[in-house]
Amino acid sequence: MVVIRGVVVSKQLVYDPTGTRYIKIDIIEEKELPGPVAAFSAQDEQAAQLMREVMPLVTQIVRSLPFGGGKISVPRVTLWLTDEEVEIFGDVDVGETITISVEGGVISIKPES
Amino acid sequence: MVVIRGVVVSKQLVYDPTGTRYIKIDIIEEKELPGPVAAFSAQDEQAAQLMREVMPLVTQIVRSLPFGGGKISVPRVTLWLTDEEVEIFGDVDVGETITISVEGGVISIKPES
């Protein structure tokens, strides 16, 4: 079983050609971007020592660049619910946390209580 | 509880900025387009009789036009699953039927067995 911590980032009103109204709900997952990975051979003890000293500075510089670090959002689930279904499921708002569980043969989506 | 009979219409391989691979699965619901609705006052019995005779022909003509009738597909759920999640959930293929149940506080998605 895999549990994903999703966040509602968008709610939108859409209509199909028959005029039925749907609430489109976008749920994303926030992911940490991995920092730069230090790949160097540690054969030379002095070089290894130097790298260890320089790495924090490099990480700091990369994080200050746009898209150089920090968080990204990955779309995980989008739902189109009719007014009736929203009433049964319960209204969720932008910013709310949604738990998505993947089990054998079933995916369950529920608001975090 | 509302049960929606969904159909997988698209499977797509997408990557996030960290290089993680996701299978994007689009699930739609097929809906019948309502035919033309006969709206006329039945005050005149002869006119009403004429309408009843003409309606089947009108319906037939409308259905033969593009988008004039028949089925439309409405998007209901889109999922982005990692390889691991696809393995746990079970692989679904294009054209397969998926049951979407909306209950108090929970939406469950599972392939029709």
- This model of the complex carries an ipTM of 0.75
Q: Is residue A110 part of a domain?
A: no
Q: Report how far apart, in Å, the C-alpha atoms of B56 and of each of A67, B65, B68, B72 are.
A: 61, 15, 14, 21
Which carries the bigger pLDDT value, residue A75 or residue A69? Answer: A75
Which stretches within chain A are classed as H helix?
45-64, 83-89
The three-state secondary structure class of A58 is: helix
Structural domains in chain A (count): 1
The three-state secondary structure class of A55 is: helix
Give the model's pLDDT for residue B33. Answer: 74
Contact A106 B106 (CB under 8 A): no
Q: Is residue B101 part of a domain?
A: no
> Predicted confidence band at B64 (pLDDT cuts at 50, 70, 90)?
confident
Q: What would the mean pLDDT of B68-86 be, rounded to a whole number?
A: 89
Chain A: nearest CA to B77, how far in angstroms?
5
Contact B84 A2 (CB under 8 A): yes
Is the pLDDT confidence value at A42 over 80? Answer: no
Chain B: nearest CA to A12, how far in angstroms?
13
Q: Compute the Cα dihedral for A104, B73, A83, A112 and give only its sign.
A: positive
Q: Is residue B24 part of a domain?
A: yes
Q: Identify from A80, A83, A91, A103 which residue to disrupt to test chain B contact, counting B C-beta atoms within 10 A and taking the largest count.
A: A80
CA distance A51 to A35: 15
Is the pLDDT confidence value at B38 over 60? Answer: no
Is the pLDDT confidence value at A43 over 90? Answer: no
Query: Kindly report the CA angle at A60 between B17 and A41, in degrees rounded to 5?
Result: 80
Range of the domain at B65: 9-37+46-92
Q: Is residue B113 part of a domain?
A: no
